[in-house]
């Protein structure tokens, strides 16, 4: 793991792990020790085990030493991905109410349209990169539209999101993860303020407006 050979083609290593060691203890280049779970049944068991936590405050010192988090736990923000019940239960209930049956149905139709358009564009070229030309723009566009991010901002939204999610041991990227997180946070705060000022009656068109309602 973490070798040039692995990053060039990780699939043989993952296949070996699934076959021989579906739960494997690893250490990343910054010294963070963690458990990698590569098989479906074991992953489901881990998600359902109340002894395991998603809250980074439970391992703050180790995460901070590896550069995954900074500062003190009291200064950090937490969301659905980084909370345990009962806080996670409260947040999930709020988000669940924003996903109405109509919005989910419309999302399916729009996702199909985006996928078709991307495939049409790929078909016009002799070669294409599956991630760069299809998978990433598909997921990014769907998420951005779901949140109500204007299309003119999709490029910046992608740049900041990629930087914010980049592993801390990657040091030669054009934008640091700290800068990406700062710019993304500032943009979302501004976007929420704009949507609050433009609050309108009826069923909101995007999830952020629905959450505000």
> In the predicted model, what is the mean pLDDT of residues 93-112?
84
Q: Is residue 210 over pLDDT 90? A: no
How big is the chain, counted in residues?
Answer: 213
List the structure tokens of 20.
Answer: 């021989």
Lowest-confidence segment of 30-34, 66-70, 110-114, 166-170 by average pLDDT: 166-170
What residues pair up with 27 in beta bridges, in sequence order?
Answer: 33
pLDDT for the residue 201 = 56
**Average per-residue pLDDT for the chain:** 89
Distances in Å between the Cα of 194 and the Cα atoms of 140, 150, 189, 199, 202 are 21, 12, 9, 9, 18
- What CATH number belongs to 99-212? 1.10.630.10
The predicted model gives 169-182 an average pLDDT of 87
177, two tokens: 């993860």
Give the pLDDT confidence of 183-205 residue by residue, as tens digits: 999 999 999 999 888 866 556 67
Residue that has been written with the tokens 């000022």 in this structure: 197
Average pLDDT over residues 128-157: 91
Which pLDDT score, from 0 to 100, does residue 147 have? Answer: 87
Distance from first CA to last CA of the chain, Å, rounded? 46
Residue 118 confidence (pLDDT) above 80: yes
The confidence score (pLDDT) of residue 84 equals 92
pLDDT number for residue 206: 82
What is the arithmetic mean of pLDDT over 170-190?
Answer: 90
30-39, 104-113, 172-181, 203-212 — which one is most confidently predicted on average?
30-39
Provide the residue ranges of all domains of the chain, joining segments of one domain with +: 4-80, 99-212
pLDDT level of residue 75 (50, 70, 90 thresholds): confident
Residue 38 has pLDDT above 80, yes or no: yes
pLDDT score for 119: 95
Percentage with pLDDT > 70 across the chain = 97
């Amino acid at each position: 793991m973490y070798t040039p050979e692995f990053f060039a083609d990780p699939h043989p290593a993952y296949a070996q792990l699934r076959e021989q060691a579906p739960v494997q203890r690893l250490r990343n280049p910054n010294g963070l020790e963690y458990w990698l779970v590569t098989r479906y049944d074991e992953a489901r068991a881990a998600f359902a085990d109340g002894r395991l936590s998603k809250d980074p405050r439970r391992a703050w010192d180790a995460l901070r030493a590896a550069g995954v988090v900074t500062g003190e736990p009291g200064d950090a923000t937490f969301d659905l991905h980084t909370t345990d019940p009962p806080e996670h239960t409260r947040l999930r209930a709020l988000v669940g109410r924003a996903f109405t049956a109509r919005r989910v149905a419309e999302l399916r139709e729009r996702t199909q349209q985006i996928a078709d358009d991307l495939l049409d564009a790929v078909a016009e070229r002799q070669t294409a990169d599956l991630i760069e030309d299809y998978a990433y723009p598909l997921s990014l566009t769907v998420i951005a539209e779901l949140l109500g991010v204007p299309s003119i901002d999709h490029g910046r939204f992608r740049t900041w999101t990629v930087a914010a999610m980049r592993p801390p041991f990657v040091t030669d990227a054009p934008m640091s993860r700290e800068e990406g997180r700062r710019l993304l946070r500032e943009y979302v705060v501004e976007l929420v303020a704009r949507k609050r000022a433009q609050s309108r009656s009826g069923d909101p068109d995007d999830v952020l407006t629905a959450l505000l309602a």
